C-alpha cells in the first residue's frame, strides 16, 4: 500500500480559501493531501475559547487526522474578507497567534503554524 504524506488545515469554510491553502501546504511541506477542518472563522473560535463543544469537535477531528493519516503538521488559517469574523486584519492576526498557541498546547501535532490569506488569495506564513 502506498504511503501518502498528509498535512492538516484548520481553515475557514469559505471555499475561496481552500485551494490556495492546499496548494501552499503541498508546495511548502511536500504534502500529497491536506485534511481540511473547516468552519466560520476558526481562528476566532480557537483564540476566544468560549465554545468548548466546538473546540472539542475540532480537537477530535485533528486527532483523527493525526492518528489515521499520520499528519504531523496543522496550519491555522484566516483570510481577508471573512464573513464569519468582521474584525480588522491586526485583530485577526492576533487571533491566529492565540489559536496557534492553543492548538500547540493540545500536543496532538508536532508542528502548528499560522497562515494568512490576503485579498489576492496569496498565502503568507506567520512566524509564531
Model pLDDT for residues 111-123, shown as the tens digit of each residue:
999 999 999 999 9
Would you list the domain boundaries of the chain? 6-126
Fold of 6-126: Beta-carbonic Anhydrase; Chain A (3.40.1050)
25 has a pLDDT exceeding 60? yes
Model pLDDT for residues 41-99, shown as the tens digit of each residue:
999 999 999 999 999 999 999 999 999 999 999 999 999 999 999 999 999 999 999 99
Secondary structure (DSSP) of 66-109? HHHH---EEEEEEETT-TT----HHHHHHHHHHHHHHHHHHT--
Amino acid at each position: 500500500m502506498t504511503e501518502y504524506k498528509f498535512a492538516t488545515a484548520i481553515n475557514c469554510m469559505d471555499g475561496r480559501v481552500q485551494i490556495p491553502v492546499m496548494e501552499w501546504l503541498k508546495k511548502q511541506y511536500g504534502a500529497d493531501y491536506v485534511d481540511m477542518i473547516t468552519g466560520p472563522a476558526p481562528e476566532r473560535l480557537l483564540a476566544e475559547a468560549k465554545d468548548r463543544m466546538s473546540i472539542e469537535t475540532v480537537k477530535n477531528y485533528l486527532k483523527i487526522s493525526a492518528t489515521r493519516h499520520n499528519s504531523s503538521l496543522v496550519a491555522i488559517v484566516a483570510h481577508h474578507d471573512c464573513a464569519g469574523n468582521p474584525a480588522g486584519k491586526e485583530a485577526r492576526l492576533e487571533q491566529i497567534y492565540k489559536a496557534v498557541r492553543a492548538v500547540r498546547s493540545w500536543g496532538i501535532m508536532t508542528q502548528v503554524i499560522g497562515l494568512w490569506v490576503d485579498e489576492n488569495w496569496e498565502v503568507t506564513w506567520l512566524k509564531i
